[in-house]
Amino acid sequence: MIDIKLIRENKDLVKENIKKKFQDEKLPLVDEVYDLDIKYRECKSNIDEFRAKRNDLSNNIGSLMKDGKKEEAEKIKNEVNDINVKIKELESTEENLAVEIQKRMMVIPNIIDASVPIGKDDSENVEIEKFGEPFVPDYEIPYHADIINILDGLDKEAAGRTSGEGFYYLKGDIARLHSAMLAYARDFMIDKGFTYFVPPFMIKSDVVTGVMSFKEMEAMMYKIEGEDLYLIGTSEHSMMGRFINQMLKEEELPLTLTSYSPCFRKEGGSHGLEERGLYRVHQFEKQEMVVLCKMEDGMTWYDKMWHYTVEFFRSLDIPVRALECCSGDLADLKVKSCDVEAWSPRQKKYFEVGSCSILGDAQTRRLKIRYKSNEGTKFLCSLNNTVVATPRGLIALIENNYQKDGSILIPKALQPYMGGMKKLERK
């Protein structure tokens, strides 16, 4: 959510930002907020004036009663009562105006960074850099679900009976490899100086609306029936919620946090679920990184964070590239974002395995997360980034380490988490 001062002082900037995101249907909201804000401030000013007048009149009542001027005192009492009625009416109007302003402000997109490329959708994202050489072997690499089945590591049929489409059982060495990636990701981030968390996997609605747009919420979140609780789509949600309504200490900044959680997503829409594979499913696990810092330090942390993900995948001998997300591909709360994509030797193309975002004060303003500085109270800058999400990370690992005989080489970094095993073989 942007600062309303931007609309008061520079409506054209806010409108131009909306156009850059190709959301012209939201342009009228800017003028609506501007007009409602004028009424709101006028209403607030009138309330203040009436309260001051009421206080002055109330101070006179005691003196008049003391001087025996009861009739005059009663007249002033009646006037004070009339003012109280007017104040109550104005307070109701003020509250309604605040609700209407908030409703519109929540859907006006954040101001994107000047460096963000302008484009309508993800087809216009821009490659930043490639890391590692993409390699295609001279033998065929089967579909990842078939590789895992050969190693007796997947049961989607049973998951369909227990849970329905979009779920899966991993088992045996594949399940162990899956967990090894997450354990390694945890230790990788701890070695970078991040504090490790296992957060709640359900959050309240005020946290949900604080961390994402309504559009994202409807598309992603599972609601717990009969309770004010939602299953998290990523541990970033819980981690940001941890600081709701908190005033942090400047000397504690930056807060560098890494968190593990299962993640639950509806995955509705045109892309659908994968019937056989594990690329798009309702449930997965992820190691996340979250940073809260001063606004002026945000971009420095943004560059550090997505490079950490690149470093993680390269330590597993997986070629990756970074893509700058264009304006139309940015969620409404984001200032700037990039995707890290892993190489698929089977498909001979890259696919997304992580995303890094800087959100400025969009989340912290909604959640009221602040810190005190010498210049007064300020909102923090929030950032989040995927270290690894698996099974997607597992797919990249399997494809890039698949051998002609059907075995999978285990990268050195993961071998200690696999009891020293160097490869997975068909049993």
Which CATH number is 178's domain given?
3.30.930.10
Which stretch of DSSP H or E encloses residue 92?
A: helix 70-105
Residue type, 93: T
Which tokens in the block code for residue 154?
A: 């997947």
Same domain, 14 and 137: no
Residues 6+ apart with CB under 8 A from 119: 125, 126, 326, 327, 328, 329
| Residue 228, number of CB atoms within 10 A of its CB | 12
Total domain count for the chain? 2
82 with 131, same domain: the answer is no
**Do 39 and 137 lie in a common domain?**
no
Residues 64 and 151 in one domain: no
Are 133 and 101 in a shared domain? no
Instruction: Assess whether 161 and 77 both reside in one domain.
Output: no
The answer on 163 and 27 residing in a single domain is no
Neighbours of 31 (CB within 10 A): 12
**Judgement on whether residues 89 and 139 belong to the same structural domain of the protein:** no
pLDDT in tens, the chain (427 residues): 899 999 999 999 999 999 999 999 999 999 999 999 999 999 999 999 999 988 888 777 766 676 777 777 778 888 888 899 999 999 999 999 999 999 999 999 999 999 999 999 999 999 999 999 999 999 999 999 999 999 999 999 999 999 999 999 999 999 999 999 999 999 999 999 999 999 999 999 999 999 988 778 888 899 999 999 999 999 999 999 999 999 999 999 999 999 999 999 997 554 555 667 898 899 999 999 999 999 999 999 999 999 999 999 999 999 999 999 999 999 999 999 999 999 999 999 999 999 999 999 999 999 999 999 888 999 999 999 999 999 999 999 999 999 999 999 999 999 999 999 999 998 7
Instruction: Provide the CATH number for the domain around residue 32.
Output: 1.10.287.40
Q: Is residue 114 part of a domain?
A: no
Q: Are 23 and 109 in contact (CB under 8 A)?
A: yes
Domain end position, chosen among 105, 140, 157: 105
Residue ranges making up the domain that contains 56 = 4-105
Both 300 and 274 in a single domain? yes
Considering the domain architecture, whether residues 71 and 139 belong to the same structural domain is answered as no
- Answer yes or no: do 90 and 126 share one domain: no
The pTM of the full predicted model, rounded to 2 decimals, is 0.90
Neighbour tally for 131: CB within 10 Å: 17
Task: Decide: residue 145, CB within 10 A, 0-12 exposed, 13-18 middle, 19+ buried.
Answer: buried
Are 303 and 165 within one domain? yes
Whether residue 418 is contained in a domain is answered as yes
Domain boundary among 70, 105, 140: 105
